[in-house]
Amino acid sequence: MMKMMIFGRSSFKPRLLLVVAAALVAGIVGLLGLQNSFPTGCIMTYMYPTYVPLPAPANTSVSKYGLFLYHEGWKKIDYELKLVQLSGVPVLFIPGNGGSYKQVRSLAAESDRAFNGGPLEESFYQSGVLTNEEGSFEENGIKRVNDIDGKDMNALRKQYYNHLDWFAVDLDGEHSAMDGRILEEHTEYVVQAIHRILDRYKESLEARSKNMANFATLLPKSVILVGHSMGGFVARAAVVHPGLRRHAVQTVVTLSSPHLSPPVATQPSLGYYFSRINWAWRKGYSSRKHPGLRSSLSTLSLSHVVVVSIFGGARDYQVRSKMASLDGLVPSTHGLSIAAPGMLNVWLGMEHQSILWCNQLVVQMIDQKTGQPFSSPSRRLATFVRSLRSPLPQMLGWMSRSQIPEISQLARKPAVVSPNEDGYSTYSCSNSIKWPDESHEKDLFIETYAVTILAMDGRRRWLDIQKLGSDGRDHFVLVTNLVPCLGIRVHLWPERGSKEGFSVNQRVLEVTKKMVQLPAGPAPRQIEPGRQTEQAPPSGVLFLSSEDLQGFRFITLMVAPRPILSGRPPPAASMAVGQFYKPSEGRHTLPPFWIASTILGHKDVQLVENHPLLVNLTLSLSTGVLPVKMEMKTASCGIRNSVFANEDPGDLEHTSLCKLRCFPPVALVWDPLTGIAVIPNFFSETIVVDSSPALWSARRGSRETTVAILVDPLCAYNIRMSASLPSAATRFLLVHGLEIAGFAVAILLFTLMQQARAWELDYPVPSVLASMEYNLRLPFPFIYLSMIPLIIYTTLEIANSESTSSFASFVLVSIACYGFATGAVAILATLSQIILYIAASVHFFVKRRCMGWIQRVNAQIPSRVSNQLNVCSSLWVLGSIRSRPLFAVMVLSILLVFFVHPALGLIVVVLVHTCNCYLALYSHQQQNNFMLSSDEALDKQVPLEKVDNGQIASPKPIISFKDAQLEIFNYSHGLLLVHLIAAAMLIPSLVAWGQRLGMDRSLPWFLDASLSFGIILHGFVGSKLDVNTPLVPFPGSPNNDAGLSFVYALAALYSYLAGLALAPYRVFHALAIIGALTTVFRILDRRGRMKGDYSLRRRHFHRH
């Protein structure tokens, strides 16, 4: 502990000034980055909405919320008739924070359009399948579940078996992300809405049908829940609600919804509600009965529930991907987490509101026999996986072995080239696709490692695997813009065959549908038909590993002639580029120091001609921490040495020729948390993933970012890389904002600890800035104030779970957050001190100038008015308030906390601290202008000691009145800041409460009120440092015992750990305990004084 601290003015020292400057720059740059707009690329949805209200049951009370049925169409309809005609699959949309029930219109309109327009055309690309982990609950393995891509899916592509009836709840636009009580009320109403929907189907069927025996098979037994933002969490809370009917919800789809923690985790009751719901979900999947579980959550089983969480990725500033993940909450057998940039047919990062879209995926879950969703969770999960997830990560080997599905191993069932044969394999084209008889006279034999196809000439190209795949080039990759099966087909041959060689053809394996779809960039420009100015971008990629090629001698690439595309517009420009390559040649690992050095200046990575088509860049420093801007520029493309080029083409002509020769690069960005993101036309882009590698709970592998680039092997490129500091600052604030909030309270408690310790050692009480400066001293006390909590936290996490985060990155980023919080608190302390000083100076100046005028006005007041004022002040209530104003204010704040809102009571405490600081500074300002003699100073001090101690102090050195007021200001200033942050943490809840003012008569949650009550006790009872009782003895003098400083140290440690856990609302527990202990200290002190024992009270006098 500190033995002495030099007391001085609150000026910035070099260490503190450096921290403040860094925090100020990072804060300004990060906040400006949040204001930057970016094109979403999302397509608008057009609709003709009609909202049909569902009447409430007669036996229920009137609610401020409502329930509506969506109808798509411009014609006016009869509401009652529409409700009677209900016959589809019920889907309930739950809006999010401040959302409207009308947001369902985009989802419902697309769903209606999909059903009336029929299913999408058949896709010939490979679709996602369940992994081994996701299919582990199937008795017959995952193959049976993934086989629905066969006959069932072929039938499903022809028609949908039922339509969706979209309902939406009107939650009055309340801000459920800010208050736990609002969230709980929304959950209660959603449960009622689910029951009303199911009951309405029964009433509608009774009104339409006379055959009562078929009700059981026709009535829906469950409702699909679709929630946006906080509506997704409300949907999950409704599933575990004790009042929900059994199996009334079996499928939950959430759009950009926080699951693991609230986005604004500053209210204790909100954080507790999240923890309680998540605990119920974990228990619900573990077993059917849970001993020791609360009665309201007992006998729950969630084995029938499938949850899909779709989140926007790095562009969603409100809900981070980690919050929206289902990891550790829902097992992989029942849950799917996927980011929008990695979704099939989406491939775009989205901000929080743009994610309100819909595709035909929900309609595909309907069972043709019952017209209702599949009862099997595996069938429903497989539908989502097939419709949403790209198989690219498993093809590129980015998934672990346990995550790779068995079905992804190349199916070796024979398939023939001839379309007349009835053979079928997983990756072969359908026999319904008729190709003209191929002429073997047109076959081409490729002798180079790379093959380029620029026309639909109807030819077949042969590539010798043994010859071209030698020297370690045992992998093959193909990119093309031709549609599989309709434009190009790929086969593996054990040997060359012919039409007559049927025995050879039987052993041919077709791998065409192993191709994976890529998002195509804009179509190339054409001056006139048949002439293009740019190479076409690829729309599909095919990877064949050495295991896939084993046992085969040849690869054939068959390109269809243009007549095969009758009924479809042919591509403006055709392209296909294939290559045998060695994976090790295209791998480049960029170390962390190399990436960090790009902050000072850009660095280049050169790709010479004839490089691998697949270039794999591993950024050892995750772009979730330090985003990197990458620019690709074509260096050469073989044009300069070509006979078709001019003798000396200029830069512009060279660029145009290279665009015509080289296809646009495509980047595949991989992160274990957010998945894959595909970036077409990759020429200039800032690479950023929404991962949190510096958090201790980060997933394995997230400490690095993998960027795979599909680039033309015939062209040379220069990849320029530079770190993006503005993006890094924005990411820092977004990812670690909650951590910084917890650290800010811990830093202020460390400051109060130093002030209390100075009091205990009879040293002058330092200012807030002086204490913060002292806490930054190296090596001590900075080491043990910042490192000991980190060591304790990591020890607890390792003991409780298998953590995979790097300790070095975790410590470095945590120290950075601690430094930023220190700078932010220092700025807040400086601004508040300046404002208070200016107010006190102005008050003193005005009082001096107006003193004579006030005396003249008082002399002119009639005696009758003065007597009436004296009579009013003699009333009992006013007299009590006048004699004990502080107690009256404390009672007022307690009433506000328990009966109105806790934030209002804390605001009163902040105002009291502000008045204390203001009066102390004003008194100090008076002493600076009216210098007193030593006797006058003693006269000023004696009454204070009589009031505080009950008697004159023992003969010790005496502190001057001016310095005593400054010490009062220093400690009151520290209390002001810590309670100001506590009140600010409840401001979002206060805003949400103000929206419901006049409609909500419920009392605040007891948890919030009781914790705020403890803070009020700290603010009033512990407003002076004289409430200090020795608790922990230190060797040496008995006066070195630690009392209140030890309490502040433990509270600061707990607050530090709360920040590391991204749960800043837990600091309320520490502050409330401080208030309770200071109350106990005050009671013990008064009892000691009544008995004449002053050993518990440390006296504090100084002479200067």
- Which among 218, 175, 228, 190 is positioned nearest to 86, based on CA atoms? 218
Whether residue 362 has pLDDT greater than 60: no
- Name the domain boundary from 671, 688, 723: 723
* Model confidence band, residue 502 (pLDDT cutoffs 50, 70, 90): very low
Question: Exposed/middle/buried for 316, CB within 10 Å: 0-12, 13-18, 19+?
Answer: buried
AA letter at 1014: G
* pLDDT reading at 966 higher than 80: yes
What is the structure's pLDDT at 128?
73
The strand pairing partners of 199, in sequence order, are none
Show the tokens assigned to 116: 């009336």
Residue 1029 lies in a domain: yes
Q: Which residue has the higher pLDDT, 703 or 969?
A: 969
888 and 952 share one domain: yes
Average of pLDDT values for 905-929? Answer: 87
Peptide bond preceding 781 in cis form (omega within 30 of 0) = yes
Boundary-marking domain end, from 681, 700, 723: 723
| Kind plus residue range of the DSSP H or E element containing 717 | strand 716-723
Is the peptide bond prior to 779 cis by the omega test (within 30 degrees of 0)? yes
Q: Minimum mean pLDDT among 135-144, 373-382, 533-542, 949-958: which range?
A: 949-958
Residue 989 lies in a domain: yes
Per-residue pLDDT band for 400 (boundaries 50, 70, 90) equals: low
pLDDT, tens only, 199-244: 999 888 888 775 555 555 568 889 999 999 999 999 999 999 999 9
pLDDT band of 24, cuts 50, 70, 90? very high
Q: Among 56-70, 542-556, 830-844, 977-991, which stretch is predicted with the lowest mean pLDDT?
A: 56-70
Q: Which tens digit of pLDDT belongs to each residue from 476-496?
A: 999 998 889 888 999 999 888
519, 478: one domain: yes
Query: What pLDDT shows up at residue 660?
Result: 77
182-191, 641-650, 896-905, 943-952, range with the lowest pLDDT: 943-952
Residues 577 and 592 both lie in one domain: no
Give the model's pLDDT for residue 855: 62
* Per-residue model confidence as pLDDT tens digits over 74-123: 888 888 888 888 888 899 999 999 889 988 888 888 778 777 776 656 67
Can you give the pTM of this predicted structure? Answer: 0.84
Q: Are residues 989 and 1046 in the same domain?
A: yes
Q: Which domain holds residue 563?
A: 410-523+531-581
Q: Are residues 719 and 741 in the same domain?
A: no
For the segment 1017-1034, the average pLDDT, to the nearest whole number, is 81
More confident residue, 66 or 321: 66
Segment 298-311 mean pLDDT: 78
Task: Tell me the C-alpha distance between 167 and 53, whole Å.
Answer: 10
User: For residue 186, what pLDDT is reported?
Assistant: 94
- Provide the mean pLDDT of the chain: 78
Say how many C-beta atoms besides its own lie within 10 A of residue 645's C-beta.
15
For residue 702, which amino acid is it? S
Q: What is the pLDDT of residue 77?
A: 85
pLDDT of residue 2: 41
Q: Which residue has the higher pLDDT, 535 or 554?
A: 554
Highest mean pLDDT among 266-280, 292-306, 801-815, 1026-1040: 266-280
Torsion sign over Cα 467, 471, 476, 478: negative
The per-residue pLDDT for range 427-483, each reduced to its tens digit, is 888 777 777 766 666 788 999 999 998 888 888 999 999 998 888 889 999 999 888
Rg (CA), the chain: 36
Overall number of domains in the chain? 4
Considering the domain architecture, whether residues 631 and 688 belong to the same structural domain is answered as yes
Q: Residue 250 has what pLDDT?
A: 92
945 and 814 within one domain: yes
CA distance to 213, 579, 713, 740, 1042, per residue, from 476 (Å):
61, 6, 13, 49, 72
Mean pLDDT of 147-155: 47
Residue 1103 confidence class, pLDDT cut points 50, 70, 90: very low
pLDDT exceeds cutoff 60 at 642: no
Report d(CA 744, CA 825) in Å as an integer. 6
Position 866 pLDDT exceeds 90? no
Taking the alpha carbons of 257, 261, 264, 268 in that order, is the dihedral positive or negative?
Answer: positive
How confident is residue 69, by pLDDT bands cut at 50, 70 and 90?
very high
Distance CA 267, CA 274 (A): 11
Together in a domain, 959 and 1080: yes
**Residue, of 640 and 196, whose pLDDT is higher:** 196
958 pLDDT higher than 70:
no
Per the domain annotation, does 276 fall within a domain? Answer: no
The torsion of the CA quartet 201, 205, 211, 213, rounded to 10 degrees, works out to 0
> Given a cut of 70, is residue 943 above it in pLDDT?
no
Q: Are 508 and 602 in the same domain?
A: no
Mean pLDDT of 271-291: 81
Amino acid 149: pLDDT: 45
Mean pLDDT of 689-710: 76
Residue 249 pLDDT > 50: yes
User: Does residue 974 fall inside a structural domain?
Assistant: yes
pLDDT of residue 113: 76
Q: What are phi and psi of 456, to 5 degrees?
A: -90, 85
Say yes or no: 625 and 765 in one domain. Answer: no
For the chain, the helix, strand and coil percentages under 3-state DSSP, each to the nearest 5: 45, 15, 40
Q: Which residues contact 923 (CB under 8 A, 6 or more apart)?
A: 961, 962, 965
On whether both 353 and 332 belong to a single domain, the answer is: yes
Of 351, 375, 399, which one is at a domain's C-terminal end?
A: 375
3-state DSSP assignment of residue 195: helix
Residue 668 belongs to a domain with what CATH number? 2.60.120
Q: Which of 351-355, 508-512, 888-892 has the lowest mean pLDDT?
A: 351-355
- Residues 826-849, mean pLDDT to the nearest whole number: 88
Residue-level pLDDT at 413: 43
pLDDT of 514 strictly over 60: yes
Question: Could you tell me where the DSSP H helices lie in 538-584?
Answer: 546-549
Calculate mean pLDDT across residues 973-995. 94
Q: Identify the pLDDT of residue 116.
A: 77
Residues 719 and 757 in one domain: no
- For residue 278, tell me if it sits in a domain: no
- Domain CATH for 228: 3.40.50.1820
Residue 845 pLDDT: 80
Across 259-273, 552-566, 613-627, 686-700, least confident range: 686-700
Which residues does residue 589 pair with via DSSP β-bridges, in sequence order? Answer: 618
In the structure, what pLDDT confidence band is assigned to residue 374 with cuts at 50, 70 and 90? low
